[in-house]
Amino acid sequence: MTTIKDVAQRAGVSVTTVSRVINDSGYVGETARERVTKAMEELNFQPSRLARGLVSGKTSTIGLLIPDVANPFFADVARGIEDAAIAKGYTTILCNSDWKREREVMYLDILRSRWADGVIIAGSRSGEEVIDQATAGLPLVLVDRRGSAKRSSVWMDNERGGRLATSHLINIGCRRIVHISGPEGSPSAYGRKLGFEGVISENRARYEGLRGELIQGDFRYEGGHEIGLSLLRSKDRPDGIFAANDLMAVGILQAARFCGIEVPDELAIVGYDNIALSEYSFPSLTTIAQPGYAMGRSAFQLLLNQLGSGRNHHSEQQEFEPKLILRGSTARKQQAGT
């Protein structure tokens, strides 16, 4: 592979001169610049971003850490970030932690040493102190959690989303409601669980026989399917399920079909995220919309603001409102509202 040294030799100049031409930094005479440019063309030399970064301290590269590349919500977030980044001349390195904290820390170490200019972390289950330590002062934006005041972050009011989903199930007549939550440590899952528990406790006195049960899920299709099978085979099965994301909700839909249970008449189901699959499942899935693409674009803009403002950057917070999307999986006749 051609190196910066080969170019310097070919052009008859020093490595420093070649580096200045690559990074367009520092004085270079016209003749020397022409000789370096000619040598780079003849040797088909492609300067590495790392090489450029070593001089300019900027690689025009950002790191994106997501927990599940197979989850369409995170794919939407990644697309939003990448589209916004490319438009501003940045490339994006995508890292998939598979919901493993130790893998998160490993990738953050790599991104820091590879000189990423900044990092966006979406859907992490790690605590902020772990993230602070692993990013060590690198410009950072958190997606999917409301970071502390010193952090730029993009998030959704998940407690309000959980309340919307649970109230809707009560309004259409469900009384034995189960919430299948996201994994332990997920801030978004915690907010949805709070919303579910709040609505159930506020309405117990009002609706005879109303009860809410909580089951820990994992945000995966297989997890929803497995929990759905065990729940729906029991005699005392629920008549309403609020799943903390659409992948689990679709798994429950499949389990209901396998158990011969009619959705929505015998079992109403609500998911969360509004991924494309939720519209095309059968019946289509009622869900809480979480605009991943827009959240991704917003996260990149907050990171760009940090990169542009240097050290004296103030954190910026962007909150998105949840929206109930009504579809076939809860299309029972509306009961008297709560």
Binding positions for ligand RIB, rule: CB under 6 A: 71, 73, 123, 144, 186, 188, 219, 245, 247, 272-273, 290
Tell the smallest beta-carbon distance from residue 317 to ligand RIB (Å).
16
Q: Are 69 and 126 in contact (CB under 8 A)?
A: no
Tell the smallest beta-carbon distance from residue 291 to ligand RIB (Å).
11
Cβ-based nearer residue to ligand RIB, 70 or 87: 70
**C-alpha pair distances (Å), 186 with each of 97, 123, 125, 254:** 14, 7, 5, 25
Nearest to 62 by CA among 290, 302, 294, 293: 302
Q: How far, in Å, CA of 170 to CA of 189, rounded?
A: 20
Tell the smallest beta-carbon distance from residue 288 to ligand RIB (Å).
9
Cβ-based nearer residue to ligand RIB, 96 or 186: 186
Tell the smallest beta-carbon distance from residue 191 to ligand RIB (Å).
9
Cβ-based nearer residue to ligand RIB, 45 or 73: 73
Cβ-based nearer residue to ligand RIB, 126 or 186: 186
Cβ-based nearer residue to ligand RIB, 139 or 217: 217
Crossing angle of the two packed helices 128-135 and 101-113, in degrees rounded to 10 = 30
Type of residue at 282: F
| H-helix segments, the chain | 4-11, 15-23, 30-42, 49-56, 72-87, 101-113, 128-135, 158-171, 187-203, 221-232, 246-258, 276-280, 292-309
Q: Are 253 and 229 in contact (CB under 8 A)?
A: no
Tell the smallest beta-carbon distance from residue 131 to ligand RIB (Å).
15
